[in-house]
Every structure is written in C-alpha cells, then in structure tokens.
Amino acid sequence: MRLPKSPVFPAVTVSRVVDTNDVTFEGVAITDDHIEVNTWGNSYSDADTAMQAIHALFDNYQGALSDGTRILSTTSTTHPDMYEQDSELFRCCCTFQFLH
C-alpha cells in the first residue's frame, strides 16, 4: 500500500478496496475482489509503461491461480493519471475486479 523509503522506479503499490462474497441460485459461492494497483515513476512514461504491463497480465484474465483459485473474469476501471506534487512522482491508477 505504501512505497518503501528508497524505492526502485518504476514501482507498484497494491491494496484491496472491496471484498464481497455472494451465493448464486445454484448455491455456488462467488467472491468479488476489487484490487487497486498504482504504478509510480520519476517520469509519466515510466509509470504508464508499468501500468500497461500490468494491464497485459490482468485484462480479461480467466484461469486458475497457483493455489487452485479459479478466476472467472477480470475487468478493470482506470482512474485519472496524476502527478503527486509532494513526492514529485507520476502515478497511474487502476482498479481490477476479480470474480472467483
């Protein structure tokens, strides 16, 4: 959720923003996780390139994770990119929704 004191850039922070459990009419439990991913860089290009790599991994992903969790669908919602004046860093933000 936070960058370390002396990070190597580009850097990534991740936080879970929503986690809900539902049961379908068939009695199957579905978990809906929303994960916010932020990429950081000394330049906008660095932050954006890192975010594009994350999109390449997660967008429309379906399949099994190493622990056996089956991801049914993955969608994303991007947020405005910004420049953080306090830290003098560029940030790209995206929330990924994982149904499993």
Contacts 24+ apart (CB under 8 A), 3-8: 3/40, 3/87, 7/40
Rounded to two decimals, the pTM is 0.82
Hey, what CATH class is 11-99 in? alpha beta
What are the pLDDT digits (tens) for 13-43? 999 887 676 665 676 677 888 999 999 999 9
pLDDT for res 4: 83
Q: Which residue intervals of the chain are DSSP H helices? A: 44-58
- Percentage of the chain beyond pLDDT 90 is 57
Query: Which residue matches tokens 């991007």?
Result: 78
Average of pLDDT values for 72-90?
91
So where are the chain's domains?
A: 11-99
